[in-house]
Homo-oligomer: A and B are copies of this chain.
Amino acid sequence: MTPGGAGVAQRHLDPMDPATGSPAADVLPDYLRAQATEFLRALRAHREAGSNGGAPARSRPAAGTGAAGGRAPGTGDHGGEDTADAVLALRRSARRISGTLHTFRPLLDAAWSEHIRPELAWLSGTLAREHAYAARLERLVAALNRLSGAAAFPTQPRGTAQSAGDATAKGSLTVGAAKAGALLDRQLTLARTRAHSAALQALGSSRFHAVADSVAVLASEVPLAPAAAGAELRPLADAAHERLCDAVAALPLVTAGLPYNAEALVHGLSPDPAPHPQDAPWHQVRLLLRLYRYSREVLHGRDTLDDVRLLAAGEALNRHRDASEAAAAAASAARTPRIAPATAYALGVLHADQRHEVEAARFAFQQCWQKEAVSTA
């Protein structure tokens, strides 16, 4: 992991200083320049890792082999790990630049920021997918082990997930659980391999080079709007906070705060194969919370007490998103033709387990948010 925003915090004001009066002309360009610099550094790290013999395109298994025990592409050796870290750092700064352009839109050159924002969103979306599939498989295999009473398995570091094949070798899984694990391994490894290729292609594309050029410009000169001179950031950060609070107010938080409300599994067997519509408002809050968190980074630097609470709330929403997508992957695997009943049964248990994780994440968010609401009231 790169240290990310730590340097930003040091260059900014004391975290206890609400920085209400900081003119946008200083703080906003400072933050954007710092994030652009991080982006360029990560890009350089990615290229160096690739040329050091750890290029994921060469070390990964061929697409479609779907080998049980296959590793995440790009994490097979030291160079691969560096590549993965560099990709994380790229996504991290791309998200921050894009979010900041959104929240502080009126202070930035409109034409320029309208152009670069969707490009950054495309980039971070494309780069996120490979990691998401790897994490989803890891989550599902861990759940299968837990559900088989194999809780004593040591948790593997990310990128070296216990594969379904290994678990079977330990004799701790039923046939159904082992087959379900192998099926998920096959499907998600294939998806991950494709996402890896797409990410490599994106990083070599002229579209990406145009984004990198724009960010390089940003690192030296932030295109501000005329309105930015003497303007204050606080009202725009407050507006981001308000959008977040409005979205949270629309969530069923009273229900979420009652443990075991059994809400998340309603529609668990519904004929509609689409993702749970009840999850969407929570995903939306997750995005708004992140935007608000970035706006606080711009104003305060990082790691104030409130930010720690916001981070916990955000982590609950990440868990919500991950469990929701893992549950959908289990349900989707169960629709594979010609699977054995025992496999389907294990996938059903797994689906329900992940939907309960969804419910647990909502409960955790509700608890965080209550504290948050008290502390910022």
For the complex formed, measure the closest distance between the CB of A91 and the CB atoms of chain B, giving whole angstroms. 29
Contact present for B344 and A269 (CB under 8 Å): no
For the complex formed, measure the closest distance between the CB of A348 and the CB atoms of chain B, giving whole angstroms. 2
- Which range contains the number of A residues in contact with the other chain? 35 or more
Contact present for A259 and B360 (CB under 8 Å): yes
Contact present for B363 and A269 (CB under 8 Å): no
Contact present for A148 and B270 (CB under 8 Å): yes
Per assembly, the copies of the chain total: 2
Contact present for B356 and A262 (CB under 8 Å): yes
Distance A360 CA – B177 CA, assembled complex (angstroms): 25
A351 close to B (CB within 8 Å): yes
Interface 0/1 of A341-358, CB less than 8 Å to B: 111111111111100110
- List the B side residues contacting A350 at CB < 8 Å: 348
Name the prevailing secondary structure of the A interface residues: helix
A334 close to B (CB within 8 Å): yes
- List the B side residues contacting A342 at CB < 8 Å: 334, 344
A147 close to B (CB within 8 Å): yes
Contact present for A266 and B147 (CB under 8 Å): yes
Interface 0/1 of A133-150, CB less than 8 Å to B: 000000000001011110
Contact present for B149 and A270 (CB under 8 Å): yes
Distance A259 CA – B146 CA, assembled complex (angstroms): 17
For the complex formed, measure the closest distance between the CB of A134 and the CB atoms of chain B, giving whole angstroms. 23
Known: A259-B259, A356-B356, A360-B259. A270 touches B345 (CB 8 A): no
Q: In the complex, which of the residues A151, A349, A351 has the most CB atoms of chain B within 10 Å of its own CB atom?
A: A349
Contact present for B352 and A148 (CB under 8 Å): no
Q: Residues of A with Cβ closer than 8 Å to B?
A: 144, 146-149, 151, 173-174, 176-177, 259-260, 262, 265-271, 334, 339-353, 356-357, 359-360, 363
